[in-house]
Amino acid sequence: MDNLLRIADITVEDVSQILGTAKRMKAKTLTQTVEGKTIALLFEKPSLRTRVSFEVAMNRLDGNTINLTPQEIGLNGREPLEDIARVLDRYVDGIVLRTFEQETIDVMAKHTKAPVINALSDIEHPCQALADLLTITEYKKDLSKITIAFIGDGNNVSTSLALACSLVGASFRIACPTDYQLTENIVAQVNRNISLYGGAFEQLTDPTLAVEGADVIYTDVWVSMGQDEARDTRIKAFQGYQVTEKLIGHAKKDAIFMHDLPAHRGEEISENILDHPQSVVFDQAENRLHAQQAVLAMLLQAANKV
Ligand code: CP
Ligand code: NVA
């Protein structure tokens, strides 16, 4: 693995290595170092979890971070993105990018030797999905025997999660309005993975049907960053897709509830769901740190991009 641009690009072996390393790092049975290495963090959108966990992960690995804003480095027009990439590549050992468009991340990766990590784009949120698998393994022993029910938008978070599930043999169901389903390309790739590694995929419109017998109930915001203009239409379209105590009651008794956060009470979740006894959302948030520490160690120690 040379970069982490999307879950769609990585292999079963990559996932297994990242999860194994993350678990050992979390348990403090493995210490790794990237001493002397510096990564740049460049975010076009707000972030609490991703930004802070990358900084802390890099500190724990004895490395350094530089925080950049799109405005100060002139990301949008002062000079071509290709030139920014080639210049940054002379200074830093890795670039962590949160962008409005996946293409910005792809172009950056194409023009750097340093590994590039997608910290969320319009298409995928790979770091989130890896941390989510780590969290699920802490509660459910065998990923190949579980069903994850995602209630809500076919967005960056559900795309990465569906792909990640299809690499580890976990079954994935998404319940969403027909206009907000995962793209055909993603569904095709998920199904190709399933034919190789097992599991199942279903796209439904009924949230109750989706959570029936599920081991994990997962939701994310209905209006992602950058979609504010479509806010009213989206809120209307997703009525009936709120995760409530009643909905959780349709899943298995020992099902866990997950949300990547930030959450919007009264929209995708009812008021007290984050504090529900089956909610693991803050463990999930913590695991961003451990999963990303493993990704950083793997990418920065190898750093063999050509
Ligand atoms: N879940 C997540 O990526 O959170 P932030 O947007 O706060 O980084
Ligand atoms: N789908 C959300 C995830 C936030 C972490 C967004 O893109 O805003």
Determine the 3-state secondary structure of 77 from DSSP.
coil
Q: What is the pLDDT of residues 179-215, one digit of tens each?
A: 999 999 999 999 999 999 999 999 999 999 999 999 9
Atom of ligand 1 nearest to the CA of 261: 1
Which of 50, 56, 295 has most ligand 1 atoms within 8 Å of its beta carbon, as the pocket-test mutant? 50
Give the range among 103-107, 138-142, 251-255, 302-306 with minimum mean pLDDT.
302-306
Domains of the chain: 7-124+286-302 (3.40.50.1370), 126-285 (3.40.50.1370)
Residue listed under structure tokens 């990439």: 85
Do 39 and 54 contact (CB within 8 A), yes or no?
A: yes
Name the pLDDT band for 141 (thresholds 50, 70, 90): confident
Calculate how far, in angstroms, residue 183's C-alpha sits from the geometric centre of ligand 2: 17
Calculate how far, in angstroms, residue 122's C-alpha sits from the geometric centre of ligand 2: 8
Number of C-beta neighbours around residue 297 at 10 A: 23
Name the pLDDT band for 76 (thresholds 50, 70, 90): confident
Tokens of 1: 């693995």
Calculate how far, in angstroms, residue 221's C-alpha sits from the geometric centre of ligand 2: 7
- Average confidence (pLDDT) over 244-263: 98
pLDDT at 306 over 60: no
Q: Which-ligand-closest: CA of 152?
A: 2
Terminal-to-terminal C-alpha distance of the chain: 12
Q: What is the mean pLDDT of the chain?
A: 97
Q: Which-ligand-closest: CA of 46?
A: 1
Calculate how far, in angstroms, residue 35's C-alpha sits from the geometric centre of ligand 2: 32
Pocket (CB within 6 angstroms of ligand 2): 120, 155-157, 220-221, 224-225, 260
Task: Give the containing element (helix H, strand E) for 60.
Answer: helix 49-60
pLDDT at 157 over 70: yes
Atom of ligand 2 nearest to the CA of 155: 1
256-259 vs 216-219, strand pairing mode: parallel
Please tell me the pTM assigned to this model. 0.97
